[in-house]
Homo-oligomer: A and B are copies of this chain.
Amino acid sequence: MTVTEQLGRRVKEASRQLAALSSGKKNEALAAVADAIWARREEILAANAADIAAGREAGLREGLIDRLTLTEERVLGICEAVRKLIALEDPAGVIESGSVRPNGLRIEKVRVPIGAVGIIFESRPNVAADGAALCLKSGNAVLLRGGKEAIRSNTALVSVMRAAIAGCGLPEDSVLLVEDTSRQSANEMMKLHGVLDLLIPRGGAGLIRAVVENATVPVIETGVGNCHIYLEQTADPEMAERITVNAKTSRVSVCNAAESLLVDEGCAADLLPWVAKALMDRGVALRGCPKACALVPGMALADEEDYGTEYLDYVMSVKVVSGLDEAIAHIARYSTGHSEAIVTRDYAAAERFLNEVDSAAVYVNASTRFTDGGEFGLGAEIGISTQKLHARGPMGLAALTTCKYKVYGSGQIR
């Protein structure tokens, strides 16, 4: 048995004990975790400083160093996020439905924790605390495997959390870290079918692809968003500009940011130069089809690959389409199924877009940036699912539970 499998089995064992705990006990542990992280912040920050020093030595680029960095303020943010979970309703234990069958069997469908959850993430150490707290709240044990750049920070955070959890009488192995950050440990983790009940990759498209291709553990794909804004020909020009600029530029590095702009032929000549200027004024480089390039000086010619790219940067692809049909077909071909928006004043166009675009969130006259657990009112978010099984769109605590049928009989046979 590999070390990774041993760790997985310890988490699985802890998950059995966790599943039986009351919400009160789990909330007590969350409070203890938040207190402990704050109380031992010096230790955590020292470990983080060592990670940063090693990262600089290894020549990590500044963006990565920033994602890796913890400050006292960021640690406070982590503690506040953990504490916020306490007030949320515990999804485990809810009786969803039930009935008495004609033979007298009483069947209850209840929500229960999923069990042993694996999270594979990249350089942000706050995912270790975040992920552990969300799992704990919903009664799941978690095996964490972060990137090698953050190994000292993750080790410190997990050690602090484990001590706090154990101090409340919960199993220490409710949270466990894979300390081996080699590619092999990640691959071993993906194969722990029957040990881990769920695997969530949190990171870039490359990580998610590797997990989908290799995992035998059921996976939820999260967070890759090649999101589209479609300006239908009846769009209000001012609203078209406002929504496009917001969706592209309010935060370029997030999955709900827009990456591609589709404009109807019927309004492109009037609308596109204006919207394009607003984007370029904010530093966005545009790459468009020949028709779009003809309308906008300074727009580069897009190639096929551009339409399939999640830039996460000040870059946007642009295409002039002949109408709703072409827009829907283009989105079907290139979208990652995250979020798409239409700007229109036409009722039928809005309805068709909402019904026929096959994405987790479809918008009329609003920015795609709203696809988010907080904005959707879920209170907390473990990720945004771009697949269709189990959970789709922003995933709150309920997405970390499954159901179970309890059947109460009095001797029935079939």
Interface residues of A (CB under 8 A from B): 16, 19-20, 99, 101, 105, 107, 112, 114-115, 193, 197-198, 212-213, 216, 218-220, 236, 239, 242-243, 246-247, 250, 332, 354-356, 358-367, 369-371, 375-377, 387-390, 392-393, 402-414
Contact = CB atoms under 8 A, between A and B. Distances in A.
Nearest to A219: B218
A406 B354 contact: yes
Given A362-B404, A405-B361, A406-B354, A370 B20 contact: no
B218 A193 contact: no
A359 B414 contact: no
A402 B388 contact: yes
A215 B245 CA distance: 40
Nearest to A412: B366
B402 A197 contact: no
A362 B197 contact: no
Given A243-B413, A406-B354, A114 B363 contact: no
Contacts of A363: 407, 409
Given A239-B411, A388-B402, 12 more contacts: A20-B356, A115-B388, A212-B216, A242-B411, A243-B413, A246-B414, A364-B408, A365-B408, A365-B411, A366-B408, A369-B413, A392-B403
Copies assembled:
2
Contacts of A197: 387-389
B404 A360 contact: yes
Contacts of A410: 365-366
B392 A389 contact: no
Nearest to A357: B404
A269 to B, nearest CB: 23
A305 B404 CA distance: 27
10 contacts: A16-B332, A101-B375, A101-B376, A193-B213, A198-B388, A236-B411, A361-B404, A366-B408, A366-B413, A376-B405
A268 to B, nearest CB: 21
User: Closest 6 interchain pairs by CB?
Assistant: A366-B409, A246-B413, A388-B402, A390-B390, A389-B390, A369-B414
A365 B409 contact: yes
A218 B366 contact: no
A391 to B, nearest CB: 8
Contacts of A239: 411
Contacts of A360: 404-405
Contacts of A392: 402-405
B388 A405 contact: no
A85 to B, nearest CB: 21
Contacts of A356: 16, 19-20
Contacts of A376: 101, 107, 405
Nearest to A244: B413
A243 B409 CA distance: 11
A382 to B, nearest CB: 13
A366 B35 CA distance: 47
A250 B412 CA distance: 13
B243 A375 contact: no
A407 B362 contact: yes
Contacts of A247: 413
Contacts of A354: 406
B213 A216 contact: yes
A367 B412 contact: yes
A2 to B, nearest CB: 17
